[in-house]
Amino acid sequence: MDATPQNKVLSRLDESLLTHLPPFSRLDRQQIRAILDQATSRRYDAGVSIFDEGAPADRFFMLLDGYVRVVRITPTGEQVTALHIPAGQLLGMAKVLGRVTYPATAITATESIVLSWPMRLWDSFIQDYDGFATETYKTLGHRVGEMNTRIVELATQQVEQRVANAILRLISQTGRKVPGGIEIDFPITRQDLSELTATTLHTVSRLLSGWEKRGLVASKRKRITVTDPHALVVLSQG
């Protein structure tokens, strides 16, 4: 990748940036320094692709700051949001899935800082760094669990429940306290929510407008705040 205004190579990073992150939390500073010296660090503007579905999986990534949307492209060319990934997690782990291409596209939801390494280093990271393998598989397990939960929701829940559950998951993963409630800490559109819940934009807009009138949520400028979490939990349970 070239260092364009949307994709800027950063200078040498300090080891302290990785010491608290689960894949590297069991390592000493010398080991972390060795890991960072093999990494490429870049700052991305919002809305930029980090890697694309179907492209050769030649690197794996760590999101240091920001949020990423993982999207899939349907056979008809529609873009569907599959997951949102917060800072501190690995992504692009095609090697774990036995793939040589990326199974999805990763797009920055906010300005983000990302580390990446050549995929050829994956096996040595697994072998040489205590905790890297266990935390990687734990992260993968959480994501598979989230996808399975969504599949069950699609099969068994009404639309209102699905949308409520999607919002509750997002505030659980990325929520921050603000005056009046808990805000999803990255821009999310009603279209994003419709993709996450396999419903229409019209339905999501109708639900959010109704919830706003009832004082459950506040929504403006791609920001959603849950103002009555308990009521939303009740709705999510039908």
SS (H, E, C) the chain: CCCECCEEECCCCCHHHCCCCHHHCCCCHHHHHHHHHCCEEEEECCCCEEECCCCECCEEEEEEECEEEEEEECCCCCEEEEEEEECCCEECCHHHHCCCECCCEEEECCCEEEEEEEHHHHHHHHHHCCCHHHHHHHHHHHHHHHHHHHHHHHHHCCHHHHHHHHHHHHHHHHEEEECCEEEECCCCCHHHHHHHHCCCHHHHHHHHHHHHHCCCEEEECCEEEECCHHHHHHHHCC
pLDDT confidence of residue 152: 85
What pLDDT is attached to residue 9? 55
Local mean pLDDT, 10-residue blocks, the chain (238 residues): 49 80 89 91 94 96 94 82 88 91 94 95 92 86 84 87 93 90 90 88 94 93 92 90
Token pair 């280093």 is found at 121
Q: What are phi and psi of 122, to 5 degrees?
A: -55, -50
pLDDT for 222: 85
Pair of tokens at residue 32? 């972390």
- Give the phi and the psi of residue 212 in degrees, each rounded to 5: -65, -40
Name the residue among 8, 24, 177, 178 with its Cα closest to residue 88. 24
Q: Provide the pLDDT for residue 5.
A: 41
21 CB burial (10 A radius; 0-12, 13-18, 19+): middle
Say what the pLDDT of residue 167 is: 94
Angle at 149 between CA 171 and CA 225, to 5 degrees: 15
Rounded-to-integer distance, Cα 174 and Cα 84, Å? 9
- Which pLDDT value is given to residue 10? 56
